[in-house]
């Protein structure tokens, strides 16, 4: 028999998007959430849930905020060890830091160690689902999925494919990319809580033949997502123009090979042309905002307000290790700062929505993760809204919930993560 646990506190869920309706209409506050068999069984008043589930275990979090766990919609777990490396823009970053580190992931033991470390670090920061690039090595994919499976965690991952403009030892071929990706997909996709993503790194590191092969693979397995990069930096865009002179724009380098449709995840998408914006929205593909990365390596300012107003699906992500933090709280703070620089600051509810429901919808996992709703998987984070003296003194002055939450978004770190539940299992952090 599945046992029920009732978690009480200030329980926050979303009944709609705060980008599409007033915050008051989009947000629901309850006293408690009941978890049974790894899923959300009910939300409501504490007395009502206690009566409905007699004998249930209870965990009382007082005035702490209980909500869905954070979802990081674009990350590079192999870059865990090189996070916060100094002073490079995108192409130099890859050559100086990323590629040398990724060379090490053909070693299964090394890959397994970094996979465990990455999942430890992200869980300590309240992240319960990650969508990550691996390396060209199948061992890197096996390591990440095996570690996530052992934890009962929902993750999305795929073998990164590159057959040009990368060092010896980090290139595959069009055929081996297809064959290796297919074998990994058949081994892991849909097993427990694991999702395989078709993963060309980006157009500059794939020949047209490789993109065509991956487009064919995705067409044969349309329930998988496809993740890549798009229009991160202006010099990258010029590079793409030289490599694909017949393409209408950067997005067309994917579109012409069948890599643009629902389930597409395009990281960054900062410097979009009008046609690209229209096509992404028309086909139902998602873009993923990576604000700490975009500022850290000097990429530019993402147009959140314009894209959301146009109806674009947008997720939020750390982009570690180009991003400078494993924390989705820090990522939300950076998204707010980018919005301020564009003259369109985001409300605290919009930031929390992007880090949960928004990212879940980008991954086509809305209703499964990303919200506390009956039947959803029980991935939960509990936020201490007074985790440091500086935050506590500001939160004490709050006149409403959002004034209490916003200081934790802007100043919070792993100390604000009071508790995490993954698949209905309470996580215990040592040290």
Q: Is residue 268 domain-resident?
A: yes
pLDDT at site 343: 97
Q: Quote the CA–CA distance of 12 and 370 in Å, as a whole number.
A: 12
| Element holding 7 (H helix, E strand) | strand 4-14
Phi, psi of 194 (to 5 degrees): -105, 140
What's the domain count of the chain?
A: 2
pLDDT at 164: 97
State which of 333, 362, 391 marks the end of a domain.
Answer: 362
The residue out of 316, 339, 362 marking a domain boundary is 362
d(CA 344, CA 275): 23
Is 138 a domain residue?
A: yes
In a domain, residue 409? The reply is yes
250 with 345, same domain: the answer is: yes
Q: Do 120 and 9 have their domain in common?
A: no
Note the pTM of the prediction, 2 decimals: 0.97
Q: What pLDDT is recorded for position 88?
A: 67
Q: Are residues 155 and 270 in the same domain?
A: yes
pLDDT at 41: 98
Mean pLDDT in order along the chain per 10 residues (431 residues): 91 98 97 97 98 97 97 97 80 82 95 98 98 98 98 98 95 98 98 98 98 98 98 96 97 98 98 98 98 93 97 97 94 98 97 98 98 98 97 96 97 97 87 43
Residues 275 and 418 in one domain: no
Distances (CA, A) of 129 to 125, 196, 249, 381: 11, 13, 32, 12
Asked if residue 418 is part of any domain, the answer here is: yes
User: 286-289 and 313-316 as β-strands: parallel, antiparallel, unpaired?
Assistant: parallel
235: burial class by Cβ within 10 Å (0-12, 13-18, 19+)? exposed
104 in a structural domain: yes
> Same domain for 312 and 407?
no
- The pLDDT of residue 96 is 85
Same domain, 43 and 137: no
Is 306 domain-assigned? yes
Same domain? 63 vs 33 = yes
Q: What is the CATH number of the domain that holds 241?
A: 3.20.20.140
Same domain membership, residue 99 and residue 12: no
95 and 234 within one domain: yes
Rounded distance, CA 369 to CA 48, Å? Answer: 24
Give the residue from 313, 345, 362 where a domain finishes: 362
What is residue 194's predicted lDDT score, i.e. its pLDDT?
Answer: 98
Same domain for 40 and 56, yes or no, is yes
CA–CA separation, 201 vs 351, rounded Å? 27
**Structural domain boundaries enclosing 407:** 4-69+371-426
Quote the pLDDT of residue 305: 97
Are residues 160 and 81 part of one domain? yes
Residue 56, domain CATH: 2.30.40.10
Q: Do 155 and 291 reside in the same domain of the chain?
A: yes
Q: Is 22 exposed, middle or buried (0-12, 13-18, 19+ CB in 10 A)?
A: exposed
Q: Say how many Å lie between the first and final Cα of the chain, rounded.
A: 33
Residue 431 maps to a domain:
no
Closest CA to 355 of 322, 328, 321: 328
């Amino acid at each position: 028999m599945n046992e029920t646990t009732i978690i009480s506190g200030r329980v926050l869920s979303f009944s709609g998007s705060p980008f599409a309706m007033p915050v008051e209409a989009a947000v629901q506050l309850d006293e408690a959430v009941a978890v049974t068999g790894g899923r959300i069984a009910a939300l409501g008043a504490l007395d009502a849930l206690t009566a409905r589930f007699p004998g249930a275990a209870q965990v009382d979090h007082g005035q702490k905020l209980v909500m869905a766990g954070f979802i990081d919609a674009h990350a590079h777990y192999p870059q865990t060890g090189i996070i916060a490396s100094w002073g490079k823009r995108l192409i130099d970053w890859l050559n100086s830091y990323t590629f040398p580190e990724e060379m090490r992931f053909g070693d299964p033991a090394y890959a397994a160690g970094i996979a465990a470390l990455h999942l430890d670090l992200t869980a300590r920061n309240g992240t319960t689902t990650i969508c990550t690039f691996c390396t060209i090595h199948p061992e890197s994919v096996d390591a990440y999925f095996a570690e996530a499976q052992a934890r009962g965690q929902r993750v999305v991952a795929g073998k990164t494919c590159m057959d040009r403009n990368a060092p010896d030892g980090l290139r595959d071929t069009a055929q081996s990319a297809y064959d290796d990706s297919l074998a990994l997909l058949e081994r892991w996709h849909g097993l427990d809580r694991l999702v395989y993503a078709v993963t060309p790194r980006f157009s500059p590191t794939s020949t047209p033949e490789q993109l065509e092969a991956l487009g064919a693979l995705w067409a044969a397995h349309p329930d998988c997502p496809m993740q890549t990069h798009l229009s991160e930096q202006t010099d990258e865009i010029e590079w793409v123009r030289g490599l694909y002179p017949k393409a209408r724009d950067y997005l067309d380098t994917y579109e012409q090979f069948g890599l643009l449709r629902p389930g597409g995840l395009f990281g960054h998408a900062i410097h979009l042309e009008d046609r690209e914006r229209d096509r992404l929205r028309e086909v139902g593909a998602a873009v993923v905002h990576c604000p700490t990365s975009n500022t850290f390596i000097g990429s530019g300012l993402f147009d959140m307000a314009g894209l959301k107003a146009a109806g674009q699906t947008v997720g939020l992500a750390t982009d570690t290790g180009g991003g400078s933090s494993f924390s989705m709280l820090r990522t939300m703070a950076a998204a707010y700062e980018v919005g301020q620089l564009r003259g369109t600051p985001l409300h605290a509810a919009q930031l929390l929505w992007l880090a949960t429901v928004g990212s879940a919808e980008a991954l086509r996992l809305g209703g499964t993760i990303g919200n506390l709703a009956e039947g959803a998987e029980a991935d939960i984070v509990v936020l201490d809204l007074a985790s440091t003296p500086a935050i506590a003194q500001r939160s004490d002055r709050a006149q409403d919930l959002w004034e209490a939450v916003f200081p934790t978004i802007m100043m919070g770190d792993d100390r604000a993560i009071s508790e995490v539940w993954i698949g209905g299992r309470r996580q215990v952090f040592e040290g």
